[in-house]
Amino acid sequence: MAYENVLLEREDRVAILTINRPKALNALNNDTLLDIKSAVLEVKEDSGIDILIITGADKAFVAGADISFMQPLSAIEGRAFGALGQEVFRMIEAMEKPVIAAVNGFALGGGCELAMCCDFRIASTKAKFGQPEVGLGITPGFGGTQRLPRLVGTGMAKQMLYTADIIDATEALRVGLVNNVVEPEELMDFVKKIANRISKKAQVAVRLSKAAANEGMQTDIDRGMTIEADVFGLCFATADQKEGMSAFIEKRKPGFIGK
């Protein structure tokens, strides 16, 4: 399916979603959020895709929400726009398939929030991160006040939220916002290699690991252990568990089928 504001490509079992409004530094307006939602649903429903990579066209990942779109909104319209962004980003976060952010440039405001809803983030040395909303008279609206403290800790998150400071990739790595920092020309190859390594593993187990980690982070440790025990037990009902352990004992590479 063709989209106006995003590109969706496929390489083997990996999908690449590129936010494609380079003249606006890939800023998010209503139509772009709806395109992201449709593209993610397409990936979610395609049994031939195991992993999704999200990146941005040209020199930005996503420079933020589109200020020219937001400026005239009423309070009711602003809340509706925020709710749409939250819905789309929560859908990405909750999708059973792993999602990796390849942050190639500016990831500010809504762009930082988009990166944070992915399972993890790999950054180019040119990447910049921040939640600059208070400098515009608003708060983050697409999940930034909730995900940032969970990723970098309450103190660092509040400093970023209150000051609207922008940090570079090195600082983002130091505070735990990104997993790796690589040169711009190496970014997509680096991320694709990670995606392909994940794709070669038992996909039922990968997805159950994501589900257990996501749900466990929202509860206490005892409930989290129960969640883990449940998904651990489920794995023993899969063909992939039989194949994986048989391959280990027989000293050969496993041939997982995702069931």
Q: Which residues contact 114 (CB under 8 A, 6 or more apart)?
A: 19, 28, 54, 61, 62, 89, 92, 101, 107, 142
Is residue 228 annotated as a catalytic residue, yes or no?
no
> Which pLDDT band holds residue 214 (cuts at 50, 70, 90)?
very high
Domains and CATH numbers, the chain: 6-199 (3.90.226.10), 203-249 (1.10.12.10)
Tell me the percentage of the chain whose pLDDT exceeds 70: 100
Give the active site residue among 11, 133, 183, 215: 133
Neighbours of 152 (CB within 10 A): 21
Q: What is the pLDDT of residues 88-135, one digit of tens each?
A: 999 999 999 999 999 999 999 999 999 999 999 999 999 999 999 999
> Which pLDDT band holds residue 180 (cuts at 50, 70, 90)?
very high
Contact assessment for residue 85 and residue 66, using Cβ atoms and an 8 Å cutoff: no
| For residue 1, pLDDT beyond 90 | no
CA 163 to each of CA 39, 55, 114: distance values in angstroms, whole numbers, following the listed order? 34, 26, 20
Give the active site residue among 93, 113, 185, 228: 113
Q: How far apart are CA 164 and CA 55, in angstroms?
A: 23
Q: How far apart are CA 99 and CA 79, in angstroms?
A: 27
At CA 216, angle to CA 213 and CA 220, rounded to 5?
A: 155
Q: CB-based burial of residue 136 (10 Å sphere; 0-12 exposed, 13-18 middle, 19+ buried)?
A: middle
